Structure formats: C-alpha cells, structure tokens
Structure 1
Amino acid sequence: MTQLTDFQQWEKNIARVQLPKWQELPTLGLYVDQVAAVVNEQLANLGIEPLTKSMINNYVKKKVIQAPIKKKYAVNQIVDLLLIGLLKRNFSIEKIRSSIAQITANFYPQAAYDRFVEIMNAALSGQPLPDNDEIDPNKDRLMQLAVETVVASLKARHLLAALNQEETTVKP
C-alpha cells in the first residue's frame, strides 16, 4: 500500500469519527487519570497528541480550567479539556480560553459544546452542517472557522507526512 493510499484510508477513518455530545460524556466525577483516558480516547481517534496528567494539572494551576472538587472532575472540565486538546495545536491556550468564554457568555455551555460537536462531526464526515438558530450567527461562524482550521491542519499534516514518506521510498 502506498503512503498516499494510507492517507486516503486515514481520511476515510476520520470521516467515521463522531465526537461525543455533552450527555454522552461521563457524569460521575472522575479522577485525573480517568479524565485523561476519556479525553485522549477522543483525541487518538483523530491522531491528535494526548494530554498528560501534568498538562491537565498545569491547566488547573494556571486557571485555564476549573479546579476539581475533591480531586474529581465534572463534565464541564472534560469538555474544556477536549476543546483544548482539539484546538491547542492551532491556537494559544489563552485564545482557546477566551473563545470558550466569549461563546458561552450568553449561551449555555452544554448547548455551545453540542453545537461545536455538530460542526466538528459534520466537517469530519463531509456532511452538510445542520442549521442552528439558537446560537448567535457570529459565534456559530467562529466555531465553524475554528473547526475548519483544525480539520485542514490535521489533513495537511497527514498528507505532508504521506508525501514525504512516498518521496523517501521512491528514492533509489
């Protein structure tokens, strides 16, 4: 199998990835190891580097995410970590945090996250984006642009790696 065929297979695989909506995430408090496992399972499906326990603890120390209560993390913290994991390669942590705050300023975090997931899942699968009249059009567009950036970056990195590998194997 050529490297470009591998890239095409990778594209088919990510088209089947479906990020979980809010209600599909664990609702019981999770310890940092469990949170890392939940988040990293989703990131691994897309070939994104995992978050380590140290990274998660640093996000708490720097107040990027809320501190756990009695060392247990809630759904909103899992969501924040998923978003950070998805976006951190393309945006600074400060920009991610301010964007989350901006989008959820007058909108429920659950509804905003679920809309982000709708946008991401549509982009990954190549399906049309479902309409949503509940969220401000500018905030919706911001999420769409962020998703387009992440998906395009993932595809570009994988295609470049395939082309580099193809070139290496062709050379005598």
Structure 2
Amino acid sequence: MTTLDMFKLDSWDQLPAMPIYMDQLLQLVNQMLAPLNIPAVTKTMVNSYVKQHFFSRPVGRQYNRNQIVAVLVVTILKRDFPLGTISQAILAIRESRLIEKRYAEFATAFEQALRHQPVMVSTTEQTTRAIQFAAQTVAYHLLTEQALA
C-alpha cells in the first residue's frame, strides 16, 4: 500500500468541537494533508479565503468546525479547480445548511478514489454529484502524479 491508499480525512466528529486559533488550524490542516504532498496552508491563504467569502470571519480569532472543513476542502480542491469554481461550490454547500453531510460525502468519495474503489454516483442530486466528481478529480490527479513519480 502507498501513502495515498491509506490516506483518511478526519471525520466531522474527529475535528475539534471547540473553536481553535489560527496556529492550531494551520497545524491541524497541514498535518492532516501532509501525506498528499500538497503545499502547506498559510495564514495568508486562510485570510484570503475569509476575504473571498469561502467561510465567515472567525469569532474572537477562533475557527469552528465549519471553517476547518472549508479550509480542508478548499486546499484539496484548489489543486485542480480555479478559486471561482470552488467559491460556487462552497456557496451552494453553505446555502444547503448540510455542511456535515457534504463534508462526509466529499471525504468518502475522495478516500474511495484514492483506494481505487468505485465511487457510486447514483444520486440525481446535483450538489452531491458535483462533490463526488470534484473529489474524484483531485484524487485521480494525485494518483497519476504518484504513478509517474
């Protein structure tokens, strides 16, 4: 097995329930995503995500689960998608008010693709399909890079 075969995003319940500060956010996200060999998230990037309305401003300089998930997903997706496309997706997910469910859909599709397992895209629900397709796109890109290395 390769590092990608074993990669797993923390589940919603594994993410901090209490708000965390920027340094903790950066450490958590960068540690979790390190096996993907993608550029580390910086304070400047997180501040840019806030300015671009990927998620709301932190309260008391602390970030909650919704914001942590947004940083994780944006960081993964920006490997293959322009920020404008990601912004549309994030907005649709926020408006659905199903952030926990959508994160689980993303994580499942991403991890299954990395494990060479078929991702069942049997729903006609557009947001779920878009999430699954996006997760697979990035996963297959990472697998391609690994195969060529």
Category of TM-score, reference length = shorter chain: 0.7 to 0.9
1:148 counterpart = 2:136: yes
Deviation at 1:151? 1.2
Looking at structure 1, the residues matched to 96 and 44 of structure 2 have their Cα atoms a distance apart, in angstroms, of 32
**Residue 137 (structure 1) aligned to one of 100, 125, 128:** 125
Please name the residue that 2:110 is paired with: 120
Deviation at 1:15? 0.7
Normalising by structure 1, report the TM-score: 0.77
**Residue 17 (structure 1) aligned to one of 7, 18, 40:** 7
Please name the residue that 2:27 is paired with: 37
Percent sequence identity is 32
**Pairs aligned (count):** 149
Please name the residue that 2:49 is paired with: 59
Unmatched segments (≥5 aa) in structure 2: none
The range that moved more, 31-40 or 100-109, is 100-109
Deviation at 1:131? 7.9
Conserved? CA contact 1:43–1:49, under 8 Å? no
Deviation at 1:99? 0.8
Looking at structure 2, the residues matched to 141 and 159 of structure 1 have their Cα atoms a distance apart, in angstroms, of 26
Please name the residue that 1:101 is paired with: 91
How has the CA–CA distance of structure 1 residues 58 and 100 changed in structure 2, closer, same or farther, with 3 Å as cutoff? closer
Deviation at 1:72? 0.4
Normalising by structure 2, report the TM-score: 0.88
The CA deviation string for residues 119-151 of structure 1, in whole angstroms up to 9 with x for no partner, is: 111111223446887xx5322221121112101
**Structure number, greater radius of gyration:** 1
1:46 counterpart = 2:36: yes
How has the CA–CA distance of structure 1 residues 55 and 104 changed in structure 2, closer, same or farther, with 3 Å as cutoff? closer
Question: Aligned Cα RMSD in Å?
Answer: 2.1
Unmatched segments (≥5 aa) in structure 1: 1-8, 163-172
Looking at structure 2, the residues matched to 15 and 125 of structure 1 have their Cα atoms a distance apart, in angstroms, of 5
